[in-house]
Amino acid sequence: MTLRDELQAIYDEYGKLTAELVVEVARPAGHPLHDRVFDRSRKDAADAWYLHRAGELIRSVRVTYRNASGAKLDCRAFSPVRPQQAGVYDPLEVIAADPMLMHLLLARMEREWKDMRQRYEHLSEFWVLVREDVA
Protein backbone atom coordinates (compact mmCIF):
# COMPACT_ATOMS: atom_id res chain seq x y z
CA MET A 1 0.00 0.00 0.00
CA THR A 2 1.08 3.59 -0.56
CA LEU A 3 1.53 6.09 2.27
CA ARG A 4 -1.79 7.65 1.29
CA ASP A 5 -3.45 4.23 1.44
CA GLU A 6 -2.03 3.56 4.92
CA LEU A 7 -3.23 6.94 6.21
CA GLN A 8 -6.61 6.47 4.55
CA ALA A 9 -6.91 3.07 6.25
CA ILE A 10 -6.34 4.73 9.65
CA TYR A 11 -8.94 7.35 8.82
CA ASP A 12 -11.41 4.71 7.66
CA GLU A 13 -10.93 2.65 10.81
CA TYR A 14 -11.08 5.50 13.35
CA GLY A 15 -13.12 8.13 11.54
CA LYS A 16 -10.36 10.71 11.94
CA LEU A 17 -6.68 11.18 11.22
CA THR A 18 -4.38 12.79 13.79
CA ALA A 19 -0.64 12.70 14.39
CA GLU A 20 -1.27 11.08 17.78
CA LEU A 21 -3.36 8.34 16.18
CA VAL A 22 -0.72 7.65 13.52
CA VAL A 23 1.93 7.30 16.26
CA GLU A 24 -0.20 4.82 18.20
CA VAL A 25 -1.17 2.75 15.17
CA ALA A 26 2.43 2.70 13.85
CA ARG A 27 3.97 1.81 17.24
CA PRO A 28 4.20 -1.98 16.64
CA ALA A 29 7.53 -2.75 14.93
CA GLY A 30 5.81 -4.69 12.14
CA HIS A 31 3.46 -1.91 11.08
CA PRO A 32 4.21 -0.50 7.58
CA LEU A 33 4.47 3.06 8.96
CA HIS A 34 6.64 2.15 11.96
CA ASP A 35 10.03 3.02 10.42
CA ARG A 36 8.63 6.23 8.93
CA VAL A 37 7.34 7.43 12.31
CA PHE A 38 9.95 5.94 14.65
CA ASP A 39 12.97 7.03 12.63
CA ARG A 40 15.21 8.13 15.52
CA SER A 41 16.58 6.80 18.74
CA ARG A 42 14.72 7.85 21.88
CA LYS A 43 17.51 10.29 22.78
CA ASP A 44 17.56 11.86 19.32
CA ALA A 45 13.76 12.07 19.30
CA ALA A 46 13.76 13.72 22.73
CA ASP A 47 16.42 16.23 21.66
CA ALA A 48 14.43 17.04 18.50
CA TRP A 49 11.32 17.55 20.62
CA TYR A 50 13.18 19.90 22.99
CA LEU A 51 14.45 21.92 20.02
CA HIS A 52 10.91 22.08 18.66
CA ARG A 53 9.58 23.31 22.02
CA ALA A 54 12.35 25.92 22.30
CA GLY A 55 11.46 27.20 18.82
CA GLU A 56 7.78 27.43 19.84
CA LEU A 57 8.84 29.38 22.91
CA ILE A 58 10.83 31.87 20.82
CA ARG A 59 7.96 32.27 18.35
CA SER A 60 5.40 32.76 21.12
CA VAL A 61 6.79 36.11 22.30
CA ARG A 62 4.74 38.99 20.92
CA VAL A 63 5.28 42.74 20.92
CA THR A 64 2.87 45.56 20.17
CA TYR A 65 3.93 48.60 18.18
CA ARG A 66 2.10 51.64 16.90
CA ASN A 67 2.52 52.48 13.24
CA ALA A 68 2.77 56.02 11.85
CA SER A 69 -1.02 56.41 11.90
CA GLY A 70 -1.21 55.26 15.53
CA ALA A 71 -2.74 51.84 14.85
CA LYS A 72 -1.56 49.01 17.08
CA LEU A 73 0.40 46.24 15.39
CA ASP A 74 0.87 42.92 17.18
CA CYS A 75 3.73 40.79 15.88
CA ARG A 76 6.42 38.32 16.85
CA ALA A 77 9.30 39.78 18.84
CA PHE A 78 11.85 37.53 17.10
CA SER A 79 11.96 36.33 13.50
CA PRO A 80 14.23 34.03 11.47
CA VAL A 81 15.45 35.93 8.43
CA ARG A 82 18.85 34.47 7.53
CA PRO A 83 18.32 31.58 5.06
CA GLN A 84 21.92 30.41 5.46
CA GLN A 85 21.47 30.15 9.25
CA ALA A 86 18.36 28.06 9.88
CA GLY A 87 16.91 28.51 13.35
CA VAL A 88 18.66 31.82 14.04
CA TYR A 89 16.22 34.50 15.22
CA ASP A 90 16.74 38.25 15.36
CA PRO A 91 14.79 40.78 17.44
CA LEU A 92 12.30 42.74 15.37
CA GLU A 93 14.05 46.03 16.27
CA VAL A 94 17.33 44.73 14.81
CA ILE A 95 15.59 43.58 11.62
CA ALA A 96 13.78 46.92 11.18
CA ALA A 97 17.04 48.86 11.59
CA ASP A 98 19.02 46.78 9.06
CA PRO A 99 18.03 47.17 5.38
CA MET A 100 19.55 43.79 4.42
CA LEU A 101 17.73 41.91 7.20
CA MET A 102 14.50 43.71 6.27
CA HIS A 103 15.02 42.67 2.64
CA LEU A 104 15.50 39.04 3.77
CA LEU A 105 12.35 39.21 5.92
CA LEU A 106 10.30 40.58 3.04
CA ALA A 107 11.66 37.86 0.73
CA ARG A 108 10.65 35.23 3.31
CA MET A 109 7.19 36.79 3.59
CA GLU A 110 6.80 36.63 -0.19
CA ARG A 111 7.84 32.94 -0.28
CA GLU A 112 5.37 32.10 2.49
CA TRP A 113 2.56 34.01 0.77
CA LYS A 114 3.24 32.24 -2.54
CA ASP A 115 3.35 28.86 -0.76
CA MET A 116 0.00 29.55 0.90
CA ARG A 117 -1.49 30.77 -2.36
CA GLN A 118 -0.33 27.63 -4.16
CA ARG A 119 -1.86 25.40 -1.44
CA TYR A 120 -5.28 27.09 -1.39
CA GLU A 121 -5.84 29.07 -4.60
CA HIS A 122 -7.99 26.27 -6.07
CA LEU A 123 -10.61 26.98 -3.38
CA SER A 124 -12.89 29.91 -4.19
CA GLU A 125 -13.36 30.45 -0.45
CA PHE A 126 -9.64 31.27 -0.19
CA TRP A 127 -10.07 34.31 -2.41
CA VAL A 128 -13.13 35.43 -0.45
CA LEU A 129 -11.06 35.33 2.76
CA VAL A 130 -8.19 37.23 1.15
CA ARG A 131 -10.49 39.92 -0.23
CA GLU A 132 -12.23 40.32 3.14
CA ASP A 133 -8.91 40.64 4.94
CA VAL A 134 -7.38 43.08 2.46
CA ALA A 135 -10.44 45.31 2.20
pLDDT tens readout for residues 26-83: 999 999 999 999 999 999 999 999 999 999 999 999 999 888 888 998 999 999 888 7
CA dihedral 94, 100, 102, 108 (to 10 degrees): -120
Distance between CA atoms of residues 135 and 127, nearest Å: 12
Whole-number pLDDT of residue 68:
84
Q: What is the pTM of this model?
A: 0.69
Domain-wise residue ranges, the chain: 59-134
Whole-number pLDDT of residue 107:
92
Residue 84, pLDDT above cutoff 90: no
Average pLDDT of the residues of the chain: 93
3-state secondary structure of 38: coil
